[in-house]
Structure 1
Amino acid sequence: MVNVVWAEEGGLAANDRGLTYGDGLFETIRMQGQRGALLGRHQRRLLADAERLGITVTHDALSRACQLAAERYAPGFGEKSDAHSGEDGWPGQGGWVLKLILSRGPGGRGYRPDSNSRPQLLISAGLLPPLPPATGVVADIARQRLTVNPQLAGMKTLNRLEQVMAARELTDGVFELIMRDHNDCLVEGTRTNLLAKTTAGWITPPATALAVDGVMRQWVLDCLRRRGEPVLERSLGLADLRVPACEGLYLLSSVLGVVPVYQLADAHLPVTGGLATICDLLTTLE
């Protein structure tokens, strides 16, 4: 049975394995009032990855916790009727972010988990960050490389030190840094997944190469495939982003949505709003 902890009422114990070893997972969910974008996908990913780590949490317990969190926090973010649209196209003014941190729970010294540990679900809420302009953003290539353990590939674990080190390289005017693996392939941003539109079709690095297989990425690929568009999951190199073969590069985030890149390092890229129209997060509220 998972123990729900509200962040404003206290944190996790000093011996919690999430703090001491990064032994856990997290999700950040874009909320509108009491509804969440891609909420079911976030919950399913958390449950699937918890099972991979051997952390026991049930679907009912997680769903109930999310419902309680929505009821608890939405009024504090100006929850309004869905009948009115905000400047970003989202109804009302109740946009906020729900964060779930699932830890294996308290444990003694040593890496071996205690079979009697009770999982902890730390829940908090925050403001929706400023959304990037539809005209696109500037990205650059991080010096920090990304190493993906095949056994942990795709999981949004609490260990994000490589992303932290890369994010330290951010400079004014740069929205995101794209990380490479040790073969010089582009893998993902510090907080986003990558999708390129090319004359050969849509290209995205495969899930097995990713530190985080984002729910937004999964949903966008599903949308494109339902439309019959060619989608290739393969390594992505700088050569794939050369114009005219490259018709656009997009950063994907379940909080920020579809973010076009108009400049990568010193190269200028074409920008269209088509993908954001096809994959409208507004349609995923639940």
Structure 2
Amino acid sequence: MLTVLWADQEPVPADDRGLAYGDGLFETIRIEGRRPLLLARHLARLVRGAEVLDIPLDQAALGGALEEALVRHGRAGAWVLKLQLTRGSGGRGYRPPESCRPRLIISAHPLPAALPESGVSAGMTDYPLVVNPRLAGLKTLNRLDQVMASRDLDDSLYEVIMADPAGNLVEGTRTNLLLRYGDQWLVPPRSCLAVAGVMLGWVTDRLIACGETVVERPLVPSLLTSPHCRGLYLLNSVVGHVAVRSLGERDLPLDDGLATICGPLEELE
């Protein structure tokens, strides 16, 4: 049975395993009025994550809670709905209880400020991203690597990009990467991603449907200095996609090819 907790009404119990151990998952969904964008992809990732973590999830109860959240928090314009699924309450110790009552924590948040069409500045962090292959791509509550890397953010930067121990660019602290390189679009291997973003999935599917070539390969930094580099993009489901105009001290080429193919974020289902 799924316990629903409304964050604006009641606190999370101190014995919640999501709070104590990061034992759970979350999704942040952009809502237009009462219309969630990319909902099927968000729910598919949440369900898959629950299966991997062996958290029993009543999908009918999840759907009912989502509908109630849209009625409760729905408003004119765009906003963000956050869902946090934890294993529920449990005693001291890492070992999961034999039986659990999962908890769904629901909260509403304002939409971040719109990003400039001229692109954003990003930096690099020397904090490495090491991904457990069994948890790769899942949006778990364990985001301490991203927290530590975010210490390198300052007011001049929108994002910092994280690399794996070999130096390959993997993702930002809250965004995925997409590189336009010659007549191809390059993305890091999905098996290396801490979070396989739903926006990245939608964009790559859209590119392929339009006849574009999408290649998974390690993003070595030298790709950015090649004359074939046509633009680097940051993607997530709340802001959509934005070009990186500078990375550290290096100016990057700007390309409008992605905007012409993908269209406005508000039109997504």
TM range (shorter): over 0.9
Residue equivalent to 2:266: 282
Residue equivalent to 2:69: 69
Residue equivalent to 1:23: 23
Measured in 2, the distance between the counterparts of 1:112 and 1:276 equals 47
Matched AA of 2:266: L
Matched AA of 1:20: A
Residue equivalent to 1:110: 93
Q: CA deviation at 1:116?
A: 2.2
Residue equivalent to 1:89: none
Matched AA of 2:5: V
Q: Which segments of 5 or more consecutive residues in structure 1 lack a partner in the other structure?
A: 80-93
Identity rate, percent: 52
Measured in 2, the distance between the counterparts of 1:168 and 1:241 equals 24
- The answer to whether the 8 A contact 1:176-1:190 is kept is yes
Residue equivalent to 2:141: 158
Measured in 2, the distance between the counterparts of 1:240 and 1:50 equals 36
* 1:200-253 deviations in Å (ceiling 9; x for gaps): 511000110010000001111100111111111110011111242100000001
Measured in 2, the distance between the counterparts of 1:48 and 1:11 equals 27
Matched AA of 2:267: T
Counting matched residue pairs gives 268
Residue equivalent to 1:99: 82
Matched AA of 2:78: G
Measured in 2, the distance between the counterparts of 1:127 and 1:244 equals 40
Measured in 2, the distance between the counterparts of 1:278 and 1:228 equals 11
Residue equivalent to 1:7: 7
* 1:83-109 deviations in Å (ceiling 9; x for gaps): xxxxxxxxxxx2100000000000111
Q: Which segments of 5 or more consecutive residues in structure 2 lack a partner in the other structure?
A: none
1:194 aligns with 2:174: no
Measured in 1, the distance between the counterparts of 2:252 and 2:110 equals 31
Residue equivalent to 2:245: 262
- The answer to whether the 8 A contact 1:187-1:194 is kept is yes
Residue equivalent to 2:212: 229
For residues 129-168 of structure 1, what are the structure 2 equivalents within 5 Å?
129-168=112-151
Q: CA deviation at 1:172?
A: 2.0
Q: CA deviation at 1:273?
A: 2.6
SS of residue in 2 equivalent to 1:45: helix
Measured in 1, the distance between the counterparts of 2:233 and 2:90 equals 41
Measured in 1, the distance between the counterparts of 2:109 and 2:267 equals 22
Measured in 1, the distance between the counterparts of 2:67 and 2:260 equals 29
Q: CA deviation at 1:185?
A: 0.2
- The answer to whether the 8 A contact 1:47-1:58 is kept is no
Matched AA of 2:237: S
- The answer to whether the 8 A contact 1:29-1:99 is kept is yes
- The answer to whether the 8 A contact 1:136-1:259 is kept is yes
